Amino acid sequence: MKTTLSTFILSLFIVFGAIAQENGAAIEQLGSSHDVVIGQVGFENSSDAYQQGDRNSLTLSQIGSHEAIIEQAGSDNKAAIQQWAGVQNSEPGASSAIVYQTGIANEISIDQYGEHIAEIGQTGDENTINLTQAQSNSTVSSLGEEYGSGAFALLMQHGFSNEITLAQNGSHYASISQNGSQNKATVLQDGLSLENIAEVEQNGTNNDAIIEQFGSQNSTTIRQTGNGHSAHIVQVGYGNQATVIQN
């Protein structure tokens, strides 16, 4: 995979290198056996990478005019970030990704197409976040404080001006999918190593979903299709289940 991506990035520079201007990259590594691959094509791309510990890995590809700040501390952490111009609506692309990971074997994957903001932090071990954003002006703010291990989040947004806020403290699962415009989803999961599950799917405009889970093995699903729906679920204790479907 590393060889393939490196070859792809090299090819981009060969093809587009003549038009790339004022891109900047800064890398600082402390420890041993770190790996960094950065490719930037376009105008005024900026990347800052800091890695401390052992065997941390970073792959970054930016096409357009983007900004990325990545900090990893610990061992065997992996971050993969791709930021592209908005091909679907001919936007130049000006996304921003800020990633912070500390611990062991955490993974973050970010794909952004268009103009988006992603701010993601993970603390703990073996936590995973996968994020995809397409079109423009969407925002993800995820603060993970997984002092246990094994938290997982799958975040997907397609459309305009959608917003996700996620906070996980413990070994929880969250899946959030938004398609449309001006949708908002907020998920808070608290409880060390206690396996709460939250799923949100919103399709349309101006929908709002909030899930708060405190305890263990609680499960909530919210599915909203259309315009202007709202749902707020709070679970406290053990083994609670809730499902909301609005069309």
What per-residue confidence (pLDDT) applies to 144? 53
Q: For residue 235, which of 221, 223, 220 has the smallest C-alpha distance?
A: 220
Structure tokens at 227: 């315009």
Q: What is the pLDDT of residue 148?
A: 53
**DSSP class of 150:** -
Q: What is the pLDDT of residue 139?
A: 87
Q: Are 130 and 153 in contact (CB under 8 A)?
A: yes
Residue ranges of the chain with per-residue pLDDT less than 50: 1-19, 87-91, 145-146
Closest CA to 57 of 76, 38, 40: 76
Q: Which pTM was predicted?
A: 0.85
Residues 93-130 have pLDDT tens digits of 689 999 999 999 999 999 998 889 999 988 888 889 99
pLDDT of residue 8: 41
Domain that residue 31 falls in: 2-246
3-state secondary structure of 4: helix
167 beta partners: 143, 188
Query: Could you read off the pLDDT of 23-37 as tens digits, one per residue?
Result: 999 999 999 999 999
Domain count, the chain: 1
CA distance linking residue 31 with residue 54, whole number of Å:
6
pLDDT of residue 93: 62
